[in-house]
């Protein structure tokens, strides 16, 4: 009897192939342990379930014979298995080595290198500057007296109007000397935990400096809540995109306090409030004390998207921006935004918990973290959008501004 096949990693991205002449299932590694992207042909997608750690090579061979009717399926079986293995998509020694090497390299580095330059935005300074000028063009009203903003973390090319609504009018002379507290969604991090780093944050424009004393303060006051040098920081875009916009406005040497907010999943699925978790309570308390003490020395930036609807996100319907089901989503989004703008943390979280957040707001925990840390903040909605991230799926997001 042959040995069990290794298990297919479940923390990969799976989505329909966007390549018209190569249909099938696209698989990629959001953790960037592997840089390989595979497209599995439709006929082979169904046999991926055989990589479950229990079924064997003989089971896979029998399934392939049933599908193809060809007794000579050994080469096809080997090709599929080797492609998955070499890509680091199986839970085996190849992936273990990839993971160990990638995490070791991040831990040893003194800088956090840009993970999305050259893909989500230009990796050459002048080209990036031209793009940012296009995003933030015009002469908007001066944004006086703000304590913070909420901007998307969706691709800037897809969400530039909401980025502009959030960032426009922020003058260098008013805000450049502040420490930017960036609350980003942790898409891949541990729930009820906060990822942080002391590394310099590098982009094509230069190095943003970490607010070391404030980082140490949060770690010391809530040590069990903070994951210091969290590897998720190496690949997360929710903070990186905000750093790029901030550097464009205020210069490369800004001072940042980046915080990845893990999902408050226990509260959403089991009830109660996020701070019922002792670690979350300690961190929210420490962040609130810092906010009250530092006042206008800080400027809060939330890197947040809202609803994620449609086939890509597990829904049974095809989502189209602003019509049909998405019109109802817009109304529910607006209800949450109203509670955020009113500073009503409890009312906002009640809406998130409703139907166990079937809107799938990936920004729910950064918003709640901000509301608890800065209870006197009151917001204004500057722009709301829905965007088809693919033909069957929609993400919603907004540009928002906060005062006290």
- How does DSSP classify residue 49? G
User: Three-state SS across 12-40?
Assistant: CEEEECCCCCCCCEEEECCCCCCCCCEEE
Q: How far apart are the two ends of the chain, measured CA to CA in Å?
A: 69
Q: What is the pLDDT of residues 227-264, one digit of tens each?
A: 999 999 999 999 999 999 999 999 999 999 999 999 99
Q: Strand 179-185 relative to strand 148-151: parallel, antiparallel, unpaired?
A: unpaired
**Domains defined for the chain, CATH in brackets:** 13-104 (no CATH), 111-403 (3.40.830.10)
Three-state DSSP state, 345: helix
Enter the tokens of residue 342. 């009113």
Backbone CA torsion sign across 326, 327, 332, 333: positive
**Closest by Cα among 209, 269, 275, 294 to 243:** 209
Chain centre to alpha carbon of residue 4: 34
Enter the tokens of residue 331. 């109304």
Beta-carbon contacts of 64 under 8 Å, excluding residues fewer than 6 positions away, are 47, 73, 76, 77
Q: What is the pLDDT of residues 52-83, one digit of tens each?
A: 999 999 999 999 998 988 778 889 999 999 99
What's the pLDDT band for 139 if we cut at 50, 70, 90?
A: low
In this structure, of 141-145, 189-193, 194-198, the range with the lowest mean pLDDT score is 141-145
pLDDT score recorded for residue 334: 98
């Amino acid at each position: 009897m042959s040995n069990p096949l290794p298990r297919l990693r479940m923390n990969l991205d799976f989505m329909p192939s966007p390549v018209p002449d190569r249909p099938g299932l696209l698989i990629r590694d959001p953790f960037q342990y592997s840089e390989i992207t595979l497209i599995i042909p439709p006929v082979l997608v169904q046999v991926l379930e055989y990589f479950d750690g229990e079924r064997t090579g003989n089971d896979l061979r029998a399934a392939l014979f049933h599908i193809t009717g060809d007794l000579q399926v050994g080469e096809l079986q080997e090709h599929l298995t080797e492609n998955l293995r070499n890509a680091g998509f199986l839970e085996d020694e190849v992936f273990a080595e990839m993971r160990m090497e990638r995490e070791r390299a991040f831990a040893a580095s003194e800088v956090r290198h840009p993970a999305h330059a050259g893909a989500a935005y230009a990796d050459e300074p002048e080209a990036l500057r031209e793009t940012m000028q296009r995003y933030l063009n015009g002469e908007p009203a001066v944004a006086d007296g703000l304590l913070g903003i909420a901007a998307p973390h969706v691709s800037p090319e897809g969400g530039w109007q909401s980025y502009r609504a959030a960032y426009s009018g922020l003058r260098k002379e008013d805000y450049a000397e502040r420490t930017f507290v960036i609350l980003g969604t942790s898409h891949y991090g541990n729930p009820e935990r906060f990822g942080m780093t002391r590394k310099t944050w590098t982009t094509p424009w230069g190095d943003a400096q970490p607010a070391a004393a404030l980082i140490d303060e949060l770690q010391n006051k809530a040590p069990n809540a903070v994951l210091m040098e969290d590897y998720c920081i190496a690949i997360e875009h929710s903070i990186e995109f905000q750093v790029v916009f901030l550097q464009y406005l205020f210069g490369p040497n800004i001072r940042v306090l980046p915080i990845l907010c893990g999902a408050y999943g226990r509260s959403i699925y089991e009830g109660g409030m996020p701070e019922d978790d002792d670690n979350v309570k300690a961190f929210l308390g420490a962040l609130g004390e810092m906010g009250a003490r530092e006042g206008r020395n800080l400027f809060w930036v939330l890197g947040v998207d809202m609803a994620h609807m449609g086939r890509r996100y597990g829904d049974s319907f095809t989502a189209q921006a602003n019509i049909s089901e998405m019109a109802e989503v817009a109304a529910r989004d607006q209800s949450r935004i109203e509670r955020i703008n009113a500073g009503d943390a409890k009312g906002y979280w009640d809406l998130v918990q409703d139907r166990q957040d079937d809107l799938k707001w990936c920004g729910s925990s950064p918003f709640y973290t901000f509301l608890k840390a800065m209870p006197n903040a009151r917001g204004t909605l500057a722009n709301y959008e829905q965007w088809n991230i693919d033909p069957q799926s929609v993400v919603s997001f907004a540009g928002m501004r906060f005062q006290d």
